[in-house]
A and B are shown apart, each in its own frame.
Chain A
Amino acid sequence: MKNNIENALVSRADRISALIAKVEKPTRYMGGELNMRVKDGDGLVRFALCFPDTYEIGMSHLGSRIVYNVLNNRSDTYAERCYCPWVDMEALLRESGEKLFSLETKRPLDEFDIVGFSLLYEMCYTNILTMLDLGGIPLTSAERGENAPLVIAGGPCVCNPEPVADIIDAFLFGDGEELVSEFTDVYIAARSRGLSRRETLLELSKIDGVYIPSFYKPEYEDGKFARLIKTEPSAPDTVARRIVSDLDAAEFTGDLVVPYMSIVHDRIALELFRGCTRGCRFCQAGFIYRPIRERRMKTLIDYADAQLTRTGHDEISLFSLSSGDYSEIHEMVPTVLDRYTKDRVSVSFPSLRIDSFMKDDLEKMQGVRKTGLTFAPEAGTQRLRDVINKGVCEEDLLRTVKDAFTAGWHGVKLYFMIGLPSETDDDILGIAELARNVSREFYSLPKDMRGKGLRCTVSASTFVPKPFTPFQWENQISVEEVLRRQALLRGALKGIRGVEFNCHFSETSRLEACFARGDRRLGEVMLRAYEHGTRFDSWDEHFKKEAWDEAFSECGLSVDQFAGRVIGLDEPLAWDHMDALVTKDYLKREYESALAAVVTGDCREKCNGCFGKRCKTHCRMHYAQEGEV
């Protein structure tokens, strides 16, 4: 008998290996990378960490790496990775009848106890279906029997879980470092007591931050979401987001798995802090990761030292929502540069805000490869920047790019959004004006003081209203209008020396807006769209508009009713049961300030009361201002 099983395993590994041999990028599925966790033993909880996109994108996600480490540091759990197979592997799996497998042990997905997805982007939702389907797991919670894995999800999209509520058995809301481990504890306890699937979910629903969608039923009136009714009396009325209060002491990534292939973010990421105090009104991350919590510089340097040795990476990135706000940034930048550049480790500083970027720091970067600078003014005029609370002015930007040009940079990326609330054609033309001024700054420098040619890339994405932002009630402008404004901008940018224009395809942004603020009815739409062949919707070459249109019309719904609708301030929201800690009152106040183009200050200077009564218990910034720390 044992021999038979071993033979079966060997031959399965061989069969998988034969499939891997046939795909374009075998290292996506191979596993076995340096620092991959290897565990052996019976009785381990088998946890599949699934990322609904390709390996090279999923492996670049810091949160998944943290959870991989947290779970694998437990002696009772083995967390393995699984990524969405590319279309070539999907075809091979279907043809051969093999199930989607984990990288670590090549175990089929349906043999795991818990299958957890990271939800980072709405356009990855159909990839969840691909993975469940290929993994031999029924697509909806309702269809899953006692022996099916628990399908769970975490990540920022959980703040409006409703569009995928039919598919996911349990959502984990907020920071995962502690929550995922508590979840596993309760799961193990329930399993050892022999509880049924439903009883297990009931136990799990008692954990703060866990949402079990099958315990609630939505109701609709006049084609709109009306309310969520509890079908399980003991389920909580609202689910509050979990936060790790001491980030510095929290578990981090451990030794990073070193990929063979080149991945999107192929470097050591130092998460300086979580949360952001700026309050840009379009930015979901700026609200749903509050409050700001920092890691100490020493902790980060120790981590970087260890990881450079353990991985052999030659690049470090200082990572956060607004790195210039890090309280030790002016010690951190020179320390990191002095310490590492002599060993030819390059250091990158994404998300440095214009106003915090200092000339001294720029000069310190002289010896480092000039990989290009990125700035995000987001809007073309001061009025609109005030509306969105992006407290950046043109003079700051121009001064900083001038400093950067003098220090040797000649590549600058400028990020903008089209379709922000209250945007007019003047605001669009303002983007071109700003780009013209950047170009002028470059070419007005004497030739010996600047690089050869300017490469200024203007990127314009489409504004997507997101839950838990002050713009959650706003609509997205129509596709036609997006295209008109893009054309207007393209025309206005024409002929500006050294400036290139880039803009994102707008159909996917439309669907993103639909799913971001959608309700549970979208679950059926998704299932149908999947049947009609939607795959990798975030990849333009795979996006199938007709399949989505057909799915929506079959369900009697439309993209526009979700993406294109202004929601009344007093209407119920499909995500009202999710408590992101930032209060609805605060978001309403911010919305009204936006419409009046009134700026709200940085909350490190003065508490704006975004958590309401919970500011006192949940935010250190609040303590600090009260003089308690």
Chain B
Amino acid sequence: MRVVASFSKLDEVRFVSHLDMQRLFQRAFRRAGLPLAYSQGFNPHPLLSFATALSVGYTSDCEYFDITLSEPIPTDGFVSRVNAVLPVGVMITDAVDAGGFKGSLTPLMRSADYSVKMRFERDLSSRELHNAAEALLGGDIFVDKKTKGGIKSVDIRPMLISLSVSEADGNSAKLDISGKLTAEGGLPLELLFGALYEKLGVNAETRVHRKRIEMDWTVLK
């Protein structure tokens, strides 16, 4: 049986890396006593895969993984058994039977919504912020991107779906950002922030929260 589950990753564990999250879940499944299925080969490992990684330091309400079990169990039992043994800050929010769906979750991803808190090095007016946001949306956003072949200048504007300032007060602000997120890659948030700081002429500390990943679930229905 293959289970597709969503989980949240909150403040307490926001510094846990993607690799460490995999180990965290593997250990939790063991504690929960789930009947795990393993890969074949020299070094068998549980058949656990994530739709995408979340950057270290980010929090999220909506990460996805799939896990293959060696025998079927009720999905609500899956949720409660795993949640009973997860460390504070990680929680399974939903689980469904993948049924006949055999593929990876990654190609199902379409886009993601983020809520970003920023604390700037100085106070900013709401107008300054809105102008900068408008300016970003209004044209190209060329950023220096590290690739295998070295640093390349690329336009990330096509990856940006929407950007709005929802709160602005003194040196802090809250932004809502939507960006493409597919198997080919996603909106590079840190580079977008860099472009914003450049427009504003000031740096900020950020806290990023992923609110939602838009997935094409039709294959599951």
Residues on A facing B (Cβ under 8 Å): 18, 20-21, 26-27, 30, 32-34, 258, 260-262, 308-314, 344, 369
Contact B29 A312 (CB under 8 A): yes
Taking CB atoms, residues of chain A closer than 8 Å to B26 are 312, 314
- A21/B57 contact (C-beta < 8 A), A312-B31, A313-B27 known: yes
- A32/B31 contact (C-beta < 8 A), A26-B15, A369-B43 known: no
Question: Nearest chain A CB to B53's CB is how many angstroms away?
Answer: 15
Query: Which parts of B13-30 form the interface with A (CB within 8 Å)?
Result: 13, 15-17, 20, 23-24, 26-30
Taking CB atoms, residues of chain B closer than 8 Å to A313 are 27, 30
Question: Nearest chain B CB to A374's CB is how many angstroms away?
Answer: 20
The size class of the interface chain B forms with chain A is 20 to 34
Taking CB atoms, residues of chain A closer than 8 Å to B30 are 308, 312-314
Question: Nearest chain A CB to B161's CB is how many angstroms away?
Answer: 27
Taking CB atoms, residues of chain B closer than 8 Å to A311 are 27, 31
The residue that B31 contacts in the complex, of A21, A260, A310, A344, with Cβ under 8 A, is A310
Most chain-A CB neighbours within 10 Å: which of B15, B27, B38, B57?
Answer: B15
Contact A20 B15 (CB under 8 A): yes
> Complex formed: what's the CA distance from A33 to B88 in Å?
8
Contact A27 B27 (CB under 8 A): no
Contact B31 A309 (CB under 8 A): yes
Taking CB atoms, residues of chain B closer than 8 Å to A32 are 12-13, 87-89
17 sample A-B contacts, Cβ–Cβ < 8 Å, listed by A number: A20-B15, A21-B57, A26-B56, A27-B20, A32-B12, A33-B87, A261-B17, A261-B20, A309-B31, A309-B33, A311-B27, A311-B31, A312-B26, A313-B30, A314-B27, A314-B30, A344-B38
State whether the Cβ of B205 lies closer than 8 Å to any Cβ in chain A.
yes
Taking CB atoms, residues of chain A closer than 8 Å to B13 are 32, 260
> Complex formed: what's the CA distance from A18 to B28 in Å?
28
Taking CB atoms, residues of chain B closer than 8 Å to A261 are 17, 20
Taking CB atoms, residues of chain A closer than 8 Å to B85 are 312
Taking CB atoms, residues of chain B closer than 8 Å to A30 are 15-16
Question: Nearest chain B CB to A409's CB is how many angstroms away?
Answer: 14
State whether the Cβ of B139 lies closer than 8 Å to any Cβ in chain A.
no
Taking CB atoms, residues of chain B closer than 8 Å to A26 are 15, 56-57
Taking CB atoms, residues of chain B closer than 8 Å to A21 are 15, 57
Question: Could you give, for residues 84-123 of chain B, a 1 whenever the CB lies within 8 Å of some chain A CB and a 0 otherwise?
Answer: 0101110000000000000000000000000000000000
Taking CB atoms, residues of chain A closer than 8 Å to B15 are 20-21, 26-27, 30
> Complex formed: what's the CA distance from A34 to B87 in Å?
5
Taking CB atoms, residues of chain B closer than 8 Å to A309 are 31, 33
State whether the Cβ of B77 lies closer than 8 Å to any Cβ in chain A.
no
State whether the Cβ of B44 lies closer than 8 Å to any Cβ in chain A.
yes
> Complex formed: what's the CA distance from A309 to B28 in Å?
9
Taking CB atoms, residues of chain A closer than 8 Å to B27 are 34, 258, 311-314
The residue that B23 contacts in the complex, of A18, A262, A308, with Cβ under 8 A, is A262
Taking CB atoms, residues of chain B closer than 8 Å to A312 are 26-31, 85
Question: Nearest chain B CB to A344's CB is how many angstroms away?
Answer: 7
Smallest CB-CB separation from B31: which chain A residue?
Answer: A312
Smallest CB-CB separation from A312: which chain B residue?
Answer: B27
Taking CB atoms, residues of chain B closer than 8 Å to A33 are 87
Question: Could you give, for residues 26-50 of chain B, a 1 whenever the CB lies within 8 Å of some chain A CB and a 0 otherwise?
Answer: 1111110100001000011000000
> Complex formed: what's the CA distance from A32 to B23 in Å?
16
Taking CB atoms, residues of chain A closer than 8 Å to B38 are 344
The residue that A18 contacts in the complex, of B44, B88, B205, with Cβ under 8 A, is B205
